[in-house]
Amino acid sequence: MKNTRILISGASIAGPALAYWLRRYGFTPTVVERAPALRPGGYKVDLRGVAVEVADRMGIGPQVRHRATDMRGGTWLTGAGKAVATLDGDLIGFRDPGDLEILRGDLAEILHEATSGEVEYLFGDAITAISDDGHAVHVTFEKARPRTFDLVVGADGLHSGVRALAFGPQAQFAEQLGLSVAVFSVPNHLGLDRWEMACTTAGHIANLYGLRPAADATAQFFFPTPDRQPERHDRHAQHQAVAEAFADHGWEVPRLLAAMPAADDFYFDSLAQTHMPNWSNGRITLLGDAAYCPSPASGQGTSLALVGAYVLAGELAAAHGDHQTAFGRYEQELRPYVELNQQLGRDVVKQLVPATPLRAWAQLAMMRMMPYMPGKARVIEKIMKPVREAANAIALKDYARSIALKKAL
């Protein structure tokens, strides 16, 4: 397997995680990433259930825990900015004991460090053409010379370039969920210290959180997707869409919108899921959001990326590099877990942003009463049950042990 060359597109979470396991099993991975370097910071991401176990099997669990956000709690507010409820960190983040939360950039850095010196990285480059002749995959890059690989993995996100080249346009695989999201850094003028604030009105949520009073905070806006959605790379049009959606909102929203144009980490997209009948085509396969994005609303995208990388690499190792067998087993093993998490994403979207003033009022009323409810524990259990089930909906194989036993025999 040392001579099995595998190209991975994407150096965020799924790509480096896959590279780690492939290198451990004796494959030769190369990771190509369009960005010139790792992107620092970013929004909060969750590791829940079996994804925490994967992190521990990788040996990065202690580092993730050390750099976890350790959010203390949060405040829910009316549209006018009146505080109606305070929730602890686990409840506001829908986390069970043992689940972890970390900045996306911090996790990417940990994964990169875990593969540094062991894996070849090509930053500032991208795949422009792929040709699978049945025996190998011939790849053309924007900058690097053409190269040939045994396999190619698209771990390059919701708008995957590999998927477009090998499977077709994104539109035929995307399910839009009706909401858009904008995330960007802002000055922490409220001095938030591991604290979150959510201002809810009909159809809209403005969220603000900060990890340290001396560091920037992060603003998140959820709102109905505009009829004319801005182009992916038209930053000005995206700013305008967010500003128009929240033009009449109170609380700190005007101040946050004023800071938006200066943010160098502005992120904008619609909430969408990726649904594909097959994740593989010949010697090319997809991983993470490129194959089965559950949408950010699920809170499970990072967990699916880590678990998917673990399973894909494990099945390739168990099949001794036989990609047809491995890709089939990868999909068979992972798809039930993916489908449950995608259902979670669809359900959360319906609850995340109340569609009408009445629903917004009901959501705030429930938050206000929760600390005093006689059956508070039952309510929390009802909220957490689908999250917990989705996060643990796969039994992880011990690939390393199985492979070692086969070698011993």
Q: What are phi and psi of 44, to 5 degrees?
A: -75, 140
Give the span between the Cα atoms of 168 and 155, in whole angstroms: 16
Write out the chain's pLDDT in tens, 409 residues. 558 999 999 999 999 999 999 999 999 999 999 999 998 878 899 999 999 999 999 999 999 999 999 999 899 888 888 888 887 777 666 777 889 999 999 999 999 999 999 999 999 999 999 999 999 999 999 999 999 999 999 999 999 999 999 999 999 999 999 999 999 999 999 999 999 999 988 889 999 999 999 899 999 999 999 888 899 889 999 999 999 999 989 999 999 999 999 999 999 999 999 999 999 999 999 999 999 999 998 999 999 999 999 999 999 999 999 999 999 999 999 999 999 999 999 998 887 777 777 777 777 777 777 666 666 566 667 778 888 999 999 999 999 877 766 665 5
Return the axis-axis angle of helices 301-318 and 399-408, rounded to nearest 10°.
10
Enclosing H/E stretch for 175: strand 174-186
Sorted by where each starts, the structural domains of the chain and their CATH numbers stand as 5-40+104-174+274-352+398-408 (3.50.50.60)
The model's pTM is: 0.93
Beta pairing class for 28-33 and 5-9: parallel
d(CA 107, CA 284) in angstroms, rounded, equals 26
Q: What is the pLDDT of residue 185?
A: 96
Q: Cβ neighbours of residue 157 under 8 Å, at least 6 residues apart?
A: 10, 12, 288, 289, 290, 293
CA distance 186 to 210: 10
How is the beta sheet containing 284-286 ordered, strand by strand? Answer: 120-123, 28-33, 5-9, 151-154, 284-286, 280-281
pLDDT of 357: 72
Q: Note whether 342 and 273 are within 8 A (CB).
A: yes
